[in-house]
Amino acid sequence: MVTPSQSDSVGAPPAPFLQISSDKLQLKEGGGCLALFGLPFFAAGVLMALTLMGIGPMKVEPNNKWTPWALGAMSVVFTTAGAVMMFGRQWLIIDVTRRCVIRQYGLLVPFRTCERSLSEFNALVIVHDPGDSDSPERFPVRLRSTRAPDFVISRPGQFGEALAQAEYLARLLRFPLVDTTSDHETVMDSGKGVLTLQERAVTTPETVTPERPAKMRALVSEATDRTTVVIPGGGSWFAGLLGLVFPVFVLFIVVPGLMRFFTRTHTPHYVQFGFLLFLTLIFVVPTIVASVNLMVGSRRKRLTVTATPEGLTIEQRTAWRTRSKFVSGADLLDIDCSTVDGTLASAKASLKSSNSPSYGRVERVFEMLKKYIPSKGITVKSRRELLTFGEGLPAGELRFLVWTLRRALGGHRDRLVTKVSGAFHGDGV
Sign of CA dihedral 321, 327, 333, 335: positive
Name the helix (H) or strand (E) containing 115. Answer: strand 109-117
Q: Does residue 88 fall inside a structural domain?
A: no
Closest CA to 74 of 97, 104, 51, 107: 51
Q: Is residue 138 helix, strand or coil?
A: strand
Does residue 393 lie within any of the structural domains?
A: yes
User: Which residues have C-beta within 8 Å of that of residue 95, sequence separation ≥ 6?
Assistant: 23, 24, 101, 102
Residues 332, 255 share a domain: no
Q: Give how many domains the chain has, as a whole number.
A: 2
**414 and 320 in one domain?**
yes
pLDDT value, residue 60: 58
For residue 87, is pLDDT > 60?
yes
Instruction: Work out the percent of the chain whose per-residue pLDDT is above 70.
Output: 79
Examine the domain organization and report whether 225 and 273 are in the same domain: no
* 251 and 335 inside one domain: no
Whether residue 378 is predicted with pLDDT greater than 50 in this model: the reply is yes
pLDDT higher than 90, residue 6: no
180: pLDDT strictly greater than 90: no
* Nearest by Cα to 393 from 355, 351, 349, 337: 337
Do 281 and 381 belong together in one domain?
no
3-state helix vs strand vs coil in the chain, percent to 5: 40, 25, 35
Name the pLDDT band for 264 (thresholds 50, 70, 90).
confident
Assigned domain for 83 exists: no
403 and 315 together in one domain: yes
CATH code for position 315: 2.30.29
Residue 294 pLDDT > 80: no
Q: What is the pTM of this model?
A: 0.70
Whether a cis peptide bond, with omega within 30° of 0, leads into 247 is no
The verdict on 230 and 379 lying in the same domain is yes
CA 115, CA 93: separation in Å to the nearest integer? 9
- The Cβ of residue 149 has, within 10 Å, a number of other Cβ atoms equal to 7
The C-alpha atoms of residue 329 and residue 326 are separated, in whole angstroms, by 9
Residue 326 maps to a domain: yes
**Domain range enclosing 228:** 219-234+301-339+375-421
154: which residues sit within 8 A by CB, 6+ positions away? Answer: 16, 27, 92, 140, 141, 162, 165
Buried b (16+ CB within 10 A) or exposed e, 99-123: eebbbbeeeeeeeeeeeeebeebeb
Structural domain contains residue 64:
no
Residue from 137, 122, 240 nearest 170 by CA: 122
